[in-house]
Amino acid sequence: MRVLVVGGDGYCGWATALYLSEKGYDVAIVDSLIRRHWDLQLGADTLTPIASIGHRVARWHELTGKKIEVFVGDICDYPFVQSFMGKFEPEAILHFGEQRSAPFSMIDREHAVMTQVTNVTGTLNLLFAIREFNKDIHLVKLGTMGEYGQPNIDIEEGYITIRHNGREDRLPYPMQPGSFYHLSKVHDTHNIRFACKIWGLRATDLNQGVVYGVLTDQTGIDEVLVNRLDYDEVFGTALNRFCVQAAIGHPLTVYGSGGQTRSFLDIRDTVRCMEIAVANPAAEGELRVFNQFTEQFSVLDLAMMVKKAGEDAGMQVEVDHVKNPRVEKESHYYNAKNTHLRDLGLVPHCLSESLLTSLLQFAIRYKDRVDKAQIMPTVTWK
């Protein structure tokens, strides 16, 4: 099957491209490389030194004999989209290619506008291209668990059945996103659902939780294939940041009380979920929603787990409660469903002390590359 990985130079996309290539899919990558540019603008860098996209795919070819074609360009540019659609003729499009940081979208007006324009336009262009080239192409779109917010009831997978004034309907689950970035994902969801309804497209929205970890069976085989690992305040995410902070002896930055509960998954499960979604396409006219996570933790629980793993390995790890730069609930009910992907065969890698120890060791290996000035939060929601 020909699978196009949009955003294939990024954290989730690169790991997925190699995983599917190894599994025998014919993979092509589309990426504007804008993320590398944003890192430069922010003065931030991944913990790991990542090779150029050309070098990466050439090395993959040398090691495995498998080719991955690369199209460099911006999916907001429709003629570019038409050109790769015509050349590659994908059967599935895995769409990771968005601005994905909540703090980035909250820096100022320009960053909020850029995030929403880029994300919404890119997705709309892919929808129009699928309509133009082949309505059977399955769009697998990365959404986020943060679209739901933290309601005081259980979170369902995309839809909820509601009884109101004696009538009943299955409706899109209410959305309460917590940043201009998370809002962009909600806008995408509405656009995709509408396109499926009016044009009969088939799409899967994967509402993914926070991803952690770095190595997969493919990115771990060679230094040139190593994946990015973000630890900075803008693109770094909770658990990955805590491991890098522990590795350099920086107190772990729990925002506020740390009672914020989120859903999480190992990057090895991200790639498997993508395979499952591609192998089981949505029906014609259907926008299917899967909650893509394996476990739920509060931020403080995560920090305490990193502290314990570090201390068991002979490190000294402090946990700090930093003034919360975000506007978010720090104490709330949280229970999200995640059965659809398991029913289709996902066997989760659960967070264990041995995984944390190996992530800490990985961070220690690269700790001389850490820029301490990138750790404390400066972007605020107010």
Pick from 288, 237, 289: which is nearest to 263 by CA?
237
Residue type, 234: V
Binding site for ligand USQ (CB under 6 A): 100-102, 144-146, 182, 209-210, 237-238, 241, 253-255, 260, 262-263, 299, 326, 328
CA pair distance 189, 42, nearest whole angstrom: 29
- 336 contacts 296 by C-beta, under 8 angstroms: yes
Given a contact cutoff of 8 angstroms between Cβ atoms, the answer to whether 37 and 125 are in contact is no
What is the dihedral angle through the alpha carbons of 45, 50, 55, 60, rounded to the nearest 10 degrees? -150
Q: Given the residues 46, 118, 144, 237, select the one marked as catalytic.
A: 144
Q: Is 378 an active-site residue?
A: no
Residue 336 CA neighbour count, 13 Å, CB half:
30
- Among residues 181, 255, 334, 366, the one annotated as catalytic is 181
Q: Which does 328 bind (CB under 5 to 8 A by kind): ligand NAD, ligand USQ, none?
A: ligand USQ
Active-site hit among 123, 185, 212, 334: 185
> Judged by CB, which is closer to ligand USQ: 285, or 377?
377
Q: Is 181 a catalytic site residue? A: yes
**Given the complex with ligand NAD, which of 114 and 370 has the nearer CB atom?**
114
How far is CA 63 from each of CA 60, 221, 301, rounded to the nearest angstrom?
Answer: 5, 9, 40
Binding-site partner at residue 255 among ligand NAD, ligand USQ, none, CB < 5 to 8 Å by type: ligand USQ
Pull the structure tokens for residue 176.
């309460």
What part of residues 98-127 is at the interface with ligand NAD (CB under 6 A)?
98-100, 118, 122
| Comparison of 32 and 179: residue with beta carbon closer to ligand USQ | 179
Residue 216 interacts with ligand NAD (CB under 6 A): yes or no? no
Other beta carbons within 10 Å of 170 = 10
Catalytic machinery residues: 144, 181, 185
Q: Which residues bind ligand NAD (CB under 6 A)?
A: 7, 9-13, 30-35, 74-76, 96-100, 118, 122, 142, 144, 208, 210-211, 228, 237
